[in-house]
Amino acid sequence: MRLVILDNYDLASEWAAKYICNCIVKFKPGKDRYFSLGLPTGSTPLGCYKKLIEYHKRGDLSFKYVKTFNMDEYVGLPRNHPESYHSYMWNNFFKHVDIDPNNAHILDGNAEDLQAECDAFEEKIKEAGGIDLFVGGPDGHIAFNEPGSSLVSRTRLKTLAMDTILANAKYFDGDLSKVPTMALTVGVGTVMDAREVMILITGAHKAFALYKAIEEGINHMWTVSAFQQHPRTIFVCDEDATLELKVKTVKYFKGLMHVNNKLVEPLYSMKEGN
């Protein structure tokens, strides 16, 4: 497990975007070899998405041969609703890059058979050869795998906790009656199957989540802690997110960054000759 600590949110977002870009470029995707990328929603990854769009527009990165799999979607919310995760992904990322819409996979929260939709999503991941890099941006839990979720769970229908519903009310005019109470979500086990996992945690309000994720034991009440057992996990955070960590923990991981000369992630490009 690696912990990459940057000075602020913008630098953490840039480091994460460069890492994603480099993974895709080094993979050398093509029509018979797609790179599979798991993606999150929320406020944390927005800076990362903006940088990826920037790299695409200047010719360093293409999503033509990339397949994406999003973590979750609300149940019962129309796809074109401004707060649906379909809307989020298309408005904040997909419409700005050259991804084939058929390769951008997002769970359908309006499917007639929700369990069949979840099973089909798992099958699509399998058909794609598994996920090469799964990116997450949790608040102690991964996707909608809230406290108490099984650490070997698969994609499924999930009832949302009241804390989550209350927190989401701000996106629905403060009206609790408009907030979805159920969602489709990938499972912890689904993400654990990825060949590599990168978790974005930024801000002082997520400091306790980062502490639970890396300094305490594995616990289903903090599902993000499961990634301590993944062979290739990178936590990317800013200084504010480290406020609950022990000083020696922060010094240890910062020391590794100096040794590996990874204070600044280099950017590889798809441009000819790079």
Contact 213, 176 (CB under 8 A): no
For residue 81, the model assigns a pLDDT of: 96
Is pTM beyond 0.75? Reply is: yes
Quote the CA–CA distance of 213 and 142 in Å, as a whole number.
Answer: 11
Sheet with 72-74, side-by-side order of all strands: 72-74, 182-185, 156-159
pLDDT tens for each residue of 165-215: 998 999 999 999 999 999 999 999 999 999 999 999 999 999 999 999 999
Active site residues: 72, 139, 141, 146
For residue 49, the model assigns a pLDDT of: 98
For residue 5, the model assigns a pLDDT of: 97
pLDDT tens for each residue of 78-97: 999 999 999 999 999 999 99
Query: Which of the residues in the chain have pLDDT under 70?
Result: 260-265, 272-274
Number of H helices and number of E strands within the chain? 8, 10
For residue 137, the model assigns a pLDDT of: 85
Please, which residues have CB within 8 angstroms of residue 203's CB and are 6 or more apart in sequence? 9, 44, 238, 240, 241
Q: Which CATH number fits domain 2-263: 3.40.190.10, 3.40.30.10, 3.40.50.1360, 3.60.15.10?
A: 3.40.50.1360
CA triple 250-17-88, angle to 5 deg: 110
